[in-house]
Structure 1
Amino acid sequence: MSVLASQELATVDWTAPWLAPYVAMGQGAATQVGAGASSAQALNAASASQAPLVQFVPQSDLPAGEAYESYIFHSGCCPTREGLHDFFNGLAWLQFPQTKRRLNQLHVAQIAQTGIQPVRGPARDGLTVFDENAAFLQAPDALWDALAAKDWQRLFVDLRPLWAQAHLVIFGHALMEKLVSPRKAITAHVYRAQVAIDSIANLDAWMAADLSADKLAAKPFAHLPVLGVPGWWPANEDPAFYDDASVFRLPKQVLHVGDLPVPS
């Protein structure tokens, strides 16, 4: 057991709204780590009631020189370090197994095409951003349009009642890790879910079918400071919360030739 992992997991607030999809398995697994289990052991125990798509193994099982994604694809084993990052990655595998498997398949297909490059290409970059920092939003068109336009006043103040019809689900394990210590600036890459989020299983199945390398290479994300979501942070009950332009940034302006100053 890693003392560091146990100490880090002890700081997780499992009542946080963004962890709602993960609390049942996550809190139990965290308790096992606190009692002496490794993260891999605890995650395997949490998945014992289902037919998991991967088994969690210590990071040391990853053969030297083999790519992480390739090893998962060929072995069905997910190397797991001690700490919050890989613990949350494991929870994502347990809650979104089809989506995680699809991402793994897409990574391996890209590796087969281009090999391991010093700099990821657009597809692998998009896959990584999605895996690490994505959130899924099912919402009325008016909310999505305001989010895409970064019209924060409309999104969070004028249309605030519409959030009762929206569902936001955190997926990225790095995003979950950052939210253990909430800060106003923490921002998700939001992927629009074109399906009713009536269950995580339905969302998982739809997402796995929808994802493609070309789609993710185009970075189809909207940027959302997640603590601005109504009900997710007490301070955002005050409309002035959204006046912080360092967090709720205006969209970049596109300059046209006619907008440029005329030389004197």
Structure 2
Amino acid sequence: MAAGGVNPLSAVDWGAPWLQPWRPLGEPLAQRAVAHDAAVHAILQSAVVAAAGPPVRFVPQSDLPAGAAYEQFIYDQLRVPTRDNLHDFFNGLVWLQFPQAKRRLNQLQAQAIAADGVQAVRGPLRDALTVFDENGALLCAPPPLWDALRARDWHRLFIGLRPLWGEARLVLFGHALMEKLVSPRKPMVAHVFAAPDAMHSIADIDRWLATAMEADTWAAKPFAPLPVLGVPGWWPANAEPGFYDDAQVFRPPPVSRAGTGG
């Protein structure tokens, strides 16, 4: 994977707050990949064999035929073409942690391809599924936090209601977001979907999310943008109230055009 250089998996800080749900599975796999200079697909496949799941196999990227749609290939073959990079390593971890949700997401992608074909611009459903697959997260939180998040009332969300974050749980789903957070930057945003408060484990969230993904609902992108490094306890700098004054990151809600003159 490193091709004679430093293996990028060695740069992952598994102590980061956003990786805590992923650390028990991800850190040992990353350590083995680094120690043995193993291909990412082989390391991920070893975890599939050990756990008797998920319902896919991880294979080299070269197994994907030229011109074939990636999502359709996975749906038809139950094989995930995997490159030797961080992006695909994290994608594999999501398959391992959320097998039912990833399978449902892939099913919806295949349905959209069957209906519309593969076009230069994705349709609304495929676009929404891709956004969540790459940058999504699940948030279990008290209603006041959700009200403030949906209103993009950042000061209320992160300062006025800060103690309530102790009752919240944010779990990353998007593998591209996890890859980007290896080198954290303030503007990084998750597209957040509301999860019930009763979710006590990743397995609970996985089962629930697989049933919550409905084509009509998800085509409307039912997500809220959340600058993840604003989450209390996730980044030392956000302990300073001025952290949230950056309007380039903590953007106000879009101005409604309803009732405006033409």
| TM-score (norm. length: structure 1) | 0.94
Equivalent residue, structure 1, for 2:96:
94
Aligned to 2:74: 72
Partner of 2:175: 173
Structure 2 unaligned runs (5+)?
none
Q: How many residues align?
A: 260
Mapping of residues 87-236 of structure 1, within 5 Å: 87-236=89-238
1:56: which partner in 2?
A: 58
Equivalent position amino acid for 1:88 in 2: F
1:100-159 deviation line (CA, Å, top 9, x unaligned): 000010011111111111110101100100100100001111000100000011000000
1:11 matched to which residue of 2?
11
Report the AA paired with residue 149 of structure 2.
L
How far 1:240 sits from its partner (Å)?
Answer: 1.1
Distance across 1 between alignment mates of 2:229 and 2:194: 18
Contact 1:6–1:33 at 8 Å: present in 2 too?
no
Residue type of the partner of 1:147? Answer: L
CA change 1:124–1:59 in 2 (3 A) is same
3-state DSSP of counterpart to 1:246: coil
Report deviation, 1:65. 2.2
Distance verdict in 2 for CA 1:241–1:141, change over 3 Å: same
**What is the CA distance between 1:38 and its match in structure 2?**
0.4
The one-letter code of the counterpart of 1:133 is: N
Matched-pair identity in %: 58
- Does residue 40 (structure 1) correspond to residue 41 (structure 2)? The answer is yes
Contact 2:2 2:8 in 1 (8 A): no
CA distance in 2, matches of 1:121, 1:209: 22
CA distance in 1, matches of 2:4, 2:153: 41
Q: TM-score under structure 2 normalisation?
A: 0.95
The one-letter code of the counterpart of 1:13 is D
Deviations 1:145-179 (A, max 9, x none): 10000001100000001111110000000000110
The one-letter amino acid of 1:56's match is F
SS of residue matched to 1:249: coil
Distance 1:4-1:205 versus aligned 2 partners, 3 A rule: farther
Cα distance change, pair 257–204 in 1 and its aligned pair in 2 (3 A): closer
Match of 1:27 in 2: 27
Counterpart Cα distance in 2 of 1:104 and 1:209: 13
Between the aligned partners of 1:149 and 1:5, the Cα distance in structure 2 is 46
The separation in 2 between residues aligned to 1:214 and 1:147, in whole angstroms, is: 23
Q: Please give the root-mean-square deviation of Cα atoms over the aligned residues, in Å.
A: 1.6
1:26 maps to a residue whose letter is G
Once residues 159 and 253 of structure 1 are traced to their aligned partners in structure 2, the CA distance between those partners, rounded to angstroms, is 24
Q: 194-203 or 52-61: which moved more?
A: 194-203
Q: Is the 8 A contact 2:141 2:197 kept in 1?
A: no
Return the alpha-carbon distance in structure 2 between the equivalents of residues 77 and 5 of structure 1: 29
Shift of 1:255: 4.0
Instruction: Report deviation, 1:62.
Output: 0.9
Paired amino acid for 2:91: N
What is the deviation of 1:216? 1.4
Displacement after TM superposition at 1:195 (Å) = 4.4
Three-state SS of the structure 2 residue aligned to 1:56 is: strand
Structure 1 unaligned segments of length 5 or more: list them.
none
Q: CA deviation at 1:28?
A: 1.3
